[in-house]
Structure 1
Amino acid sequence: MELQPLNTQGEGSSPYFPLVSSSSLSSIIFFSWAKQIFSIGKKNKLTPEDVYPLPDEHSSQNETLTSYLSRYSLYKSLLFSNIKLISKAIMLGNLVSLFDFSSPLFIQFLLSYLQTQEKFLSIGILLAISFTIVTLTTQVLKGQFLWTNQLVEIKIKSSLSNAIFCKVLKVARIPEGTGVNILQVDVKKVCDGFKDLSLFISTPLQAGLSMYLIYYQVGNAVYAALATLTICLSLNTVITRAVGKFSGRIMSVRDRRVEATTQMLASIKMIKAYVWEKFFKKKIEDARVRELSLLRKLQILQGTTYFFFWIVPSITAAAVFMYYTLVMEKSLDPGTAFVTLSTLLILQDSLQEIPWLVSEVMMCIVSCRRMQGLIDLPDLEGLPSSDTVDLKECTLAYGDKSVLNRISLKVNKGEFIAVVGTVGSGKSSLLNGIMGELKVKEGVIKVTDSIAYAPSLDSWLQNDSLRNNILFGKPYNEAWYLKVVDACCLIQDINSLPNKDLTEIGERGINLSGGQKARICLARAVYADKDIYLLDDPLSSVDTFVATHIMNKCFLNVLSQKTRILVTHRLNILNKVDRVIVLQNGSIIENSSPDSLQITQDIEDHKSSEIEEMHSTHTKLIEDEDKESGKVNIKILKDYFGYSGGYLMISIAFLAMGLWAATRMIADIILKEWSTDPDGTETYLLLYILFRVGGTIFAFIRAVLTMAVVGNRASRFIHNQMIKSFIRAPVNLFYDVTPLGRILNRLNKDLNSIDELVPRATASIIAQIWQVLSMVFLALIYFPILIMILPFWVYYSLQIKDLYLGAARELTRLEAISNSPILNNFEETLSGAKIIRTFRQTQNFHIKNCRLIDINSRLLYSMSACRCWLVVNLGLLSSGVLCFMFALIVVFRNNISLGAVGLSLAYVVPLPINIYYLVIDWANLENQLISVERAKVYMGITSENPHKQATDKNLGNWPQFPSIEFKNVQMKYRSNTPIILKGVNFSIEAGKRVGLVGRTGSGKSSIYLCLLRLVEISSGSILIDGVNIAMIGLNKLRSAITLVPQDPLVFSGDLKDNLDPCQLKSNGEVENALKEVNLTRFSIDYEIKGDGSNISAGERQLISLGRAMLTHTKIILFDEATAGIDQNTDHQIQELIKNKFQGCTILTIAHRLGTVMESDQIIVMQDGKVSEAGNPKVLLSKDSIFKSLKDNFN
């Protein structure tokens, strides 16, 4: 065997970036240190190595959160572990709130100055200089405030993700959909909630200060504002509670949708074979309809909340001015009017933030509760230590359900024990109990912690090279490694791979046969060199030659000094073990030496099957994730609106917001005229109320249309198209090269962005465009001299925006891509947690997870730095323009109307923050549209061949005579892979029973894949009943064939749904099928968990056989269907097949030669070709390969 050298070259080093702590004070204040990434981004496409290093305190390996979780709830732990950053953010937030009030105060000072007779220039200059200093300070504080908030998010995300990962390794099992949803959605919502905690505190403070300043201007008229606010806020409290309620319900429904989607994607090959695409599509889409229905109601509620906080300042202004002029009988002057108006604009900004802040906090609380539920799950308890295995009167349970009753068993050091029993007797549960995976309800288990475990039917492998799967974190020892792979009969398999043992074996071992996966799992266990070996039927998945080799070279040689507990259905090997344990109904009924064993059964031959090896010409099987670069194509935005049903609704929303801006401008012009004409109070007041309050209805229309209509429709279309695309995607060309985590990333994180963030970003950008346009327009009307600097302002604003967006787009794409490995690793760990714990590899997986999280955190860190640079620089530019305008007012102080100055400043002062929000909202929309861009890639996956053909209707009840003929068939999995079937020729008469035998990897399962057209053949033809199957629609073809696999598919739902998901059979027929396959202990409404953990491997196989009983097709493919079944049950099943499937053409892959000895024909496969075929008796009467296989077994 040729072994490839280990790759010892480290990862590429990153360019040096100075940490913030080593930067100068001015660089820290103005974020100059962040500019380096813009320079790199302009020259080259950014890569993860180009981003800034992550300070140690933000690393995921920081264990501060974990230490608090042992004493406090999750919410308190997150608060206490980040108290310094959160406190700093709150302090900066309050300072920003205080400095924001400098604007109305300076407007008042300026108007007072302009009302004086002298208007001394020196005083005006002093005002202008003071205003400049305060404005620039405000922008710097805002940058530092945003930076601190972003650090809170980064730290919480990394520590929380790590804590969840660690918890998954400590609990027995959590539903896969729930785990993925918590990691991808709930963590984000908690981060958002804590990031905005400072705003949640400072915003009410800002609102309170606004009220005080209004009181300072209008005296008791402020009580009108208080009364208005109290009524509106009380009404909004009811809506806020409903928001929290709907958020929790949405997350619950989303869990079910994610679970169903994960089940479908993980078992897509079997779903296609069973023609269950419509069932799973409906199941997922039904959950999606419920999710979107709740989301639409939530978005309408959010729109109503926005409406309240748009209308509150308008009603408040109207109430204040009405009370001031009519009740207090005072005249409005420009100073009072526009200082109050400017303050009300600050109040509006504060109140505008409250709805989404409340929404964020409510969703944060909901997500915290969900995660608290996970964190509160009991950890698996460690078992008392012992030199060997000792169980005393043990009752063991999965949850509350007992599976083993009062078991007593002591295994001596170095003893070789076999465990046998019928299906569901508790064999695998015994091994799980010894590993500490079951709850000990009674008794005591003592065991050493030096345990290795080798599963068969539930083989778990990593998406890594074959060698690394065997090493499993242990150092490479070539001599020991070669001895192990030889003992596990892997040398021939390794030499057949293009890159030997460095060939990537794919996610879940997808490019390996069942036998190869079982032997790699065995090699992993043997290489670990432990004291105790728990072997869960590893011989069931290999042929007779390999089984003999493993028994002699591995179990009886390499492991001869080890303690071995072997679960098996092979009674012929029992004479080679020291002791046999017989289990029945969860109890030990016999414990004796093989010679005195009181069971009589026929010697069984062998079992297993394979999902054919998918060779690759490259070490790398899984394709890299695509990453777009450059600007987000405007076509993506057009497509998004197109997905919502066209441009009508978004056009109405845009126009509605334009009408809001127009009515607001008219109302403020009315206020200007009113402040200089006290005689028309009633008329002005009526018009002001009409335009101010009436205009907010347009803002409500915009919010509901963009979120509850446009967003909801687009989300539904995108999700359904992706699901349709996934269902139609070819197995070999898409699923074999695309990790499940990458797909789930699109269906979770990206879809969540499309559901919630893209509509919100769309609504926000529409509002911000009209805000800025109205402000500039009105300022130019009353202060046309601004036209002098407007071109320069716009030019430099665009320069800053383009510089920022160039880096922000790439960083956003990289951050989205960096989430996929985290999710892949999480999903892989979730499914293999038991093995990881048993092999004591939790620390290695923890380190890997921390490395992946830190890569993501580095990208978030760089994105945050870029955003803060944008805040400060845009703020400084806009503040400079504002100060220039302030200076011009001082220069032209004798020729300017007070009303014009007041109105212009009321509109221009908020311009810096509104221009910043415009750029940020545009960048945010672009960033969120990346999720649409990524989803669109998966909406257009190349489909497999048509599911329906026009000629299908002419076939009637095809096949009438289910003969099968292969004519010179060649097949390869992809264009860059070797040929697997090399000119296969054979014919099978209708109604015959045929056995397919041959070594693992010889091409047996590839025959099945070709018959079902799960992989299309490269050349030749396959005929069924004389019809070329290439001309038949896939649904018609697959509906005519029933596959009973070795790795059966079960999904969450009752037993009837699992047997007859399309609801084609009556309850009586389903119950009869259960009776025929000996599953009468279960009722048809027995609820099966999503991963099938509450039924045994053998019971899952019997369920699969029960499905076949209900289909009544004329071609049946058995792929080691009885591999996990005991000998007596296997014999009963063979009789059942003989009686129930009379007249059917039956193909059986078997390593138990006894299973196929009564076949009409045997086909022996070798190296992708038919090496011989004929009647088994004829083949046994001469020197044939089939005879050698049987002799080798004997």
Structure 2
Amino acid sequence: MLELQEIGPQRKITVPYIPVPSRSPGFFSMLFFTWVKPMLLLGKNLKLEQDDIPILPDEHLIEHENLTTYISKHRLFKALFLSNWKLLLLVTILGNIVVVFDFSSPIFIKLLIAYLKSEEKPLSIGLYLLLGYIFVTLINQLVKGRFSWTNQLIELKVKSSLSNVIYSKLLKAASIPSNLGVNILMVDVRKIYEGLRDLNMFITCPMQAGISMYIIYQQVGNAVFAALGTLIICIAMDMFIARRVQRFSIRIMSHRDKRIEASTQMLTNIKMIKACVWENVFKTKINSIRASELSILRLIKLFLATSRFFFWVIPSITAAIVFVYYTVVMKEKLDPEIAFVTLTTLLLLQDSLQDLSWLVSQLLICVVSVRRVQSLIDLPDLDEPNKGDKILMKNCTFAYGDKNILKNISLEVKQGEFVAVVGEVGSGKSSLLNSIMGELKIKEGFINVPDNIAYAPSLDSWIQNDTLKNNILFGKPYNEAWYLKVLDACCLIQDINSLPNKDLTEIGERGINLSGGQKARICLARAVYADKDIYLLDDPLSSVDTYVAKYIMNKCFLNVLSQKTRILVTHRLNILNKVDRVILLQNGSIKNDSSPDKIKIIEEIKETSRVEIEEPAPQQSKLIEKEEKVLGRINSHLYIDYFKFSGGYFFPFLAVLSMVLWAITRMIGDIILKNWTTNPDGIDEYLPLYLLFRVGGNIFSYIRALLMMAVVGISASKFVHHKMIESFIKAPVNLFYDVTPIGRILNRLNKDLNSIDENISGAMAAVIAQTCQVASMVTIGLIYFPIITLLLPFLVYYSLQIKELYLSAARELRRFEAISNSPILNHYAETVSGIKIIRTFQQNENFKQKNYRLINSNSRLLYSQAACKCWLSVTLGLLSSTVLWVLFSLVIIFRYNVPIDIVGLSLAYVVPLPHNILRLVGDWANLENQIIAVERAKQYIDIISENPNEISSDKNLQDWPSQPSIQFKEVYMKYRLNTPLVLQGVNLFIEAGTRAGLVGRTGSGKSSIYLCLLRLVELHAGTIFIDGVNIAMIGLHKLRSAITLVPQDPLVFSGDLRDNLDPCKIKSHEEIQEALREVNLSKFSIDYEIKSDGSNLSAGERQLISLGRAMLAHTKIILFDEATAGIDQDNDLKIQEVVKNKFKGCTILTIAHRLGTVMENDVIWVMKDGIVAEMGSPKELLSRDSLFRNLRDNFN
């Protein structure tokens, strides 16, 4: 069980707090973002809760998005532009205003130096200069606030609307590749809104560069063309690098898709993977994909760092060229006014070129994601069949993808008719139902289907993570009388009464809190409660015992649904005399269609032996645990952990040292420039030194970028992923997977890991760089302009106070937002797995509404996050402006006491100081928000683990088990500490080589036996011996390698058939071919490509593959958990004969649903209420009044 310790004070409300929506504040409250102040104060003084977060304004609700309208007429990028054009226009206008105002700094430096040079100008001129500066900077800060806010709104709107478009496509698409969904939602959507958000920079950056060039021209004349050359070189270099980054981005997204698909397969099938000892197979596969992904990511980081280096070093070289050209060629004097105004403007030019470089790379990456989302949108929608009052097909051919599944189907089913569909495994029975539901593409023929259909699957039962009652209601209004009638007809009343909270019991993700039979009956009850005209029943009786099957047939199919049209896929031949028609399918075609008395179907099979008993389900009222979050300040150990993850402190130390050296060389270079301006004739002396220190400084900056992003960042990413996968593999099924939704885990492996991959190292590098930048500015200020010491404490103190106020709320908002992504992923995954049922039951709108609620919940958090960021920006901006106003006042007052060259150097460093302190605070706040991804990843790195896979004593068991006997001695088992006992003192002994059957009613404890044998759940008390050895004293891999499990729900994963049969790649081609022949799958080639979750195989074929694995395993203990439930009886009998011969001498324990499966066993154990109620041979148990005999008699 995952336990997170809460940090921070307990919540004690002393003043009532009413969340303030953004539409109610006045003009100034919106202008200065003071409407978020109550939430910030609450976050600082108390523990912020979700109820304290301001509501989302109506205009930002997903219900009001218009992207869907535009996307039906235009390609994605144009649709995004048209649906957001007002915000994009506004942000472009605001961005241009910001650019114009940003140039106030070099202009005012020029005017101030000119004023200080002239002793004749009165003080009033200086005061007017000060007032102008105050006005310009005040307006600039407020416009920047609106600019940032508009950008955040674009991000919010694009994210929510795109997420909705993707989900809406899922509901109507014929098929969606399983590897696309999660990555598109969590990664591609983010890259698209980041690219669209910054689209305005295509106008603002060239404008900023143009103004910079003009100002430089005003200062140095024709020498500006050296700067123009810089611009051309930078753009050419940037385009070269950006194109390569785009190519790498396409490749890295492909690898991420594969990694998420493989991770999803591992997580959803973890129980079987542990049982088969395939952990290393999947870990190797996932880590191999991850290694390829990180190698490409490292190249991207190298290219981006190189790009940044050129954008830093070229302006420095350009400055030197400009000054040389100005002094040598133009024979002009380089004075402080010209030198430092030019230098300051070149820094602005550098910023614009760097932003343009970043923008081009981001947009090219955005284009990759746009194409991926567009490819999803372009997928064909499901074909809507013609509507009519009955099912009618004429010469129809249906296909799944490019493969024809059903051929020449002609069928007419009248209202109220009861039709059975039979046939061998893979004959097309389930596909026939899918064609009626419209889930298959019709290639030829005519089909007419009513739209009032209900569908009930069996082996592929779909259960929502909700209460049992809500799974049955499935969006329909509650009608108590009808509800109780349905429960009775589906034989669920006894099961419900055995649950702790009756029908309000939470039944867990994928129904893990239920037996297979219970899941099948809940799916049936959902269909019956819907009260439709047509019922498509995909073998719902295969997972229930004989008594229940007989009860459902009489009470449900022949009574409650007697007036409905019913099409039943079944392998139970004894019920065929109760239907109106029987359709026999063979190789995707109808071989026979007539009344039961006219059709002969494998008459030699004795159905009376086909008595079935369900497997147990643990009784738990609350299963899925709420996702918790750590509260309060970021623990400083997270940074230490991150550096440890990256391999230690050496490379981070080198990165810090590089930035310190960068700051020192930059200062020395500018001091050399100051001296050059006072001695224009010393060009031979100063120019080489200036270039040495400026270029050398940029090389140190490049080293810092390489170390942090390409070394530290990649190493940490590799370690975190490796440790998370290792933790997931080692996590116990009952204590972790049974209480943790898969979507929550995928959120860690996707969004959080992506943040670690791409953001944290860059955020750390920015903090290091900005800290050194501020330190260098403070140093110059203290040396040449000591008056700054009066303002510095004030600036630092209030900056830290503002930062702390912001972070107290921002941290919690970031955590809430991270958590809010998990339900979105869960809902998406749940929809993918249940899409046929959702569409058939016409629940699309209800699921869309739930998606709306989840997206709006996430948007509400993003909205408040954005407002807090803008409040921080405006508040710190105004604080820095106030400091500059005071600084300008001091400069004006002390103008006669400071040399002009020192004023130029000092202002070049001191004027940007408040802004750089603001950026440092912002960068630090961003780092704290990003490091939460490490916090969340570490929570799952530190989860509880199973007992060791290998222990030293395993080497003494080389030939174990030689005599595979099994003994249970006073065995007690429960799933978790807060759940009831499932096994209550089980005692049994199975001799080596015995074929034993385990039977019993639902909840009796049968499947718990194999969970204990495989130690998938550890014992509460008692001991289990195999070949006389206590299995608790054996490593898990040694134990599980000695046992083969053939489950009812088989594991089939994407890849070829050989990989599925022999994942460890240790069997020969001939052995695999022989296994295929023995399980009647020889029609498939060994290289047959299986799609994700075996979607291109029938349920029976998937079970046969699982059986083939068992034949290749060659272990001495075999556990069958009704491995032939979805197989036709002819194949079942053949397979039983193969099992009898193939596993001769093995100890076989069969958890039986079909009594025919265990009738020839040596011994049968009958379970009841968690204990062994009786045992004996089948003949002995049938000869007396036994529970086993009662099971048999209930069917007859």
Q: 1:136 aligns with which of 127, 138, 141?
A: 138
Q: 1:881 aligns with which of 874, 880, 883?
A: 883
Matched letter for residue 806 of structure 1: S
Q: Aligned residue for 1:839?
A: 841
Matched letter for residue 615 of structure 1: Q
Matched letter for residue 795 of structure 2: W
Q: 1:405-554 alignment to 2 at 5 Å?
A: 405-554=407-556
1:1123 matched to 2:1132: no
Question: Residues 1134-1156 of structure 1, C-alpha deviation per residue, up to 9 Å, x if partnerless?
Answer: 11011111001111122211111
Q: 1:296-695 alignment to 2 at 5 Å?
A: 296-601=298-603, 602-604=605-607, 605-606=609-610, 612-616=616-620, 619-695=621-697
Q: Aligned residue for 1:50?
A: 52
Partners of 2:668 and 2:625 in 1: CA distance: 58
1:918 matched to 2:920: yes
Partners of 2:82 and 2:730 in 1: CA distance: 49
Change (3 A) 1:858 1:1105: same
Matched letter for residue 1148 of structure 1: T
Q: Aligned residue for 1:952?
A: 954
Partners of 1:829 and 1:1069 in 2: CA distance: 39
SS in 2 for 1:22: coil
1:943 matched to 2:945: yes
Q: Aligned residue for 1:1030?
A: 1032
* Higher mean C-alpha deviation, range 392-401 or range 768-777: 768-777
What's the CA shift for 1:232? Answer: 3.2
Matched letter for residue 407 of structure 2: N
Q: Note if contact 2:230-2:315 (Cα within 8 Å) is conserved in structure 1.
A: no
**Unaligned stretches of 5+ in structure 1?**
1-11
* Higher mean C-alpha deviation, range 49-58 or range 330-339: 49-58
Matched letter for residue 1170 of structure 2: G
Partners of 2:611 and 2:1069 in 1: CA distance: 33
Partners of 2:923 and 2:119 in 1: CA distance: 45
* Higher mean C-alpha deviation, range 111-120 or range 206-215: 111-120
Question: Residues 57-116 of structure 1, C-alpha deviation per residue, up to 9 Å, x if partnerless?
Answer: 221122400000111111111111011111111110111001001111111111111222
SS in 2 for 1:409: strand
* Higher mean C-alpha deviation, range 353-362 or range 372-381: 353-362
Q: 1:245-260 alignment to 2 at 5 Å?
A: 245-260=247-262
Q: Aligned residue for 2:1106?
A: 1104
What's the CA shift for 1:316? Answer: 1.8
Q: 1:756-1155 alignment to 2 at 5 Å?
A: 756-1155=758-1157
Partners of 2:132 and 2:715 in 1: CA distance: 51
What's the CA shift for 1:649? Answer: 0.4
Change (3 A) 1:384 1:608: farther
Q: Aligned residue for 1:77?
A: 79
Q: Aligned residue for 1:8?
A: none
Q: Note if contact 2:174-2:381 (Cα within 8 Å) is conserved in structure 1.
A: yes
Partners of 1:969 and 1:175 in 2: CA distance: 45
Q: Note if contact 2:949-2:1036 (Cα within 8 Å) is conserved in structure 1.
A: yes
What's the CA shift for 1:607? Answer: 7.1
Q: Note if contact 2:997-2:1165 (Cα within 8 Å) is conserved in structure 1.
A: yes
Question: Residues 255-303 of structure 1, C-alpha deviation per residue, up to 9 Å, x if partnerless?
Answer: 1011000000000000000000010000000001000111111111111
Q: Note if contact 1:543-1:607 (Cα within 8 Å) is conserved in structure 2.
A: yes
Q: Aligned residue for 2:110?
A: 108
SS in 2 for 1:541: coil
Partners of 2:539 and 2:1101 in 1: CA distance: 15
What's the CA shift for 1:364? Answer: 1.0
What's the CA shift for 1:530? Answer: 0.6
Q: Note if contact 2:234-2:353 (Cα within 8 Å) is conserved in structure 1.
A: no
Partners of 1:924 and 1:606 in 2: CA distance: 65
Matched letter for residue 995 of structure 1: G
Partners of 1:368 and 1:609 in 2: CA distance: 52
SS in 2 for 1:231: helix
SS in 1 for 2:1094: coil
SS in 2 for 1:237: helix
Change (3 A) 1:862 1:773: same
Q: 1:3-42 alignment to 2 at 5 Å?
A: 16-42=18-44
* Higher mean C-alpha deviation, range 911-920 or range 74-83: 911-920
Q: 1:88-107 alignment to 2 at 5 Å?
A: 88-107=90-109
SS in 1 for 2:180: helix
Partners of 2:791 and 2:911 in 1: CA distance: 16
Matched letter for residue 1022 of structure 1: I
Question: Residues 1071-1119 of structure 1, C-alpha deviation per residue, up to 9 Å, x if partnerless?
Answer: 1111111111111111111121111111000000100110111111111
Matched letter for residue 618 of structure 2: M
Q: Aligned residue for 2:150?
A: 148
* Higher mean C-alpha deviation, range 277-286 or range 907-916: 907-916
Change (3 A) 1:172 1:514: same
Q: Aligned residue for 2:703?
A: 701
Q: Note if contact 1:392-1:407 (Cα within 8 Å) is conserved in structure 2.
A: yes
SS in 2 for 1:1121: coil
The aligned length equals: 1180
What's the CA shift for 1:611? Answer: 6.1
Q: Note if contact 1:608-1:1046 (Cα within 8 Å) is conserved in structure 2.
A: no
Question: Residues 427-466 of structure 1, C-alpha deviation per residue, up to 9 Å, x if partnerless?
Answer: 0000000000000000121111111110001011111111
What's the CA shift for 1:1006? Answer: 0.8
Partners of 1:313 and 1:545 in 2: CA distance: 85
Q: Note if contact 1:302-1:355 (Cα within 8 Å) is conserved in structure 2.
A: no
Change (3 A) 1:99 1:870: same
What's the CA shift for 1:641? Answer: 0.5
SS in 2 for 1:253: helix
Q: Aligned residue for 1:4?
A: none
Q: Note if contact 1:540-1:607 (Cα within 8 Å) is conserved in structure 2.
A: no
What's the CA shift for 1:606? Answer: 4.0
Give the TM-score taking structure 2 as reference length. 0.98
Q: Note if contact 1:543-1:606 (Cα within 8 Å) is conserved in structure 2.
A: no
Partners of 1:608 and 1:659 in 2: CA distance: 77
What's the CA shift for 1:905? Answer: 1.5
What's the CA shift for 1:844? Answer: 0.7
Partners of 1:909 and 1:208 in 2: CA distance: 23
Q: Note if contact 1:169-1:842 (Cα within 8 Å) is conserved in structure 2.
A: yes
SS in 1 for 2:63: coil
Change (3 A) 1:493 1:81: same
What's the CA shift for 1:209? Answer: 1.1
What's the CA shift for 1:911? Answer: 2.4
Question: Residues 972-998 of structure 1, C-alpha deviation per residue, up to 9 Å, x if partnerless?
Answer: 100000111111111111111111111
Matched letter for residue 444 of structure 1: F
* Higher mean C-alpha deviation, range 865-874 or range 198-207: 198-207
Partners of 1:714 and 1:221 in 2: CA distance: 46
What's the CA shift for 1:370? Answer: 0.6
Matched letter for residue 515 of structure 1: G
SS in 2 for 1:885: helix
Q: Note if contact 1:512-1:611 (Cα within 8 Å) is conserved in structure 2.
A: no
SS in 2 for 1:1124: coil
Matched letter for residue 971 of structure 1: M
* Higher mean C-alpha deviation, range 108-117 or range 1116-1125: 108-117
SS in 1 for 2:381: coil
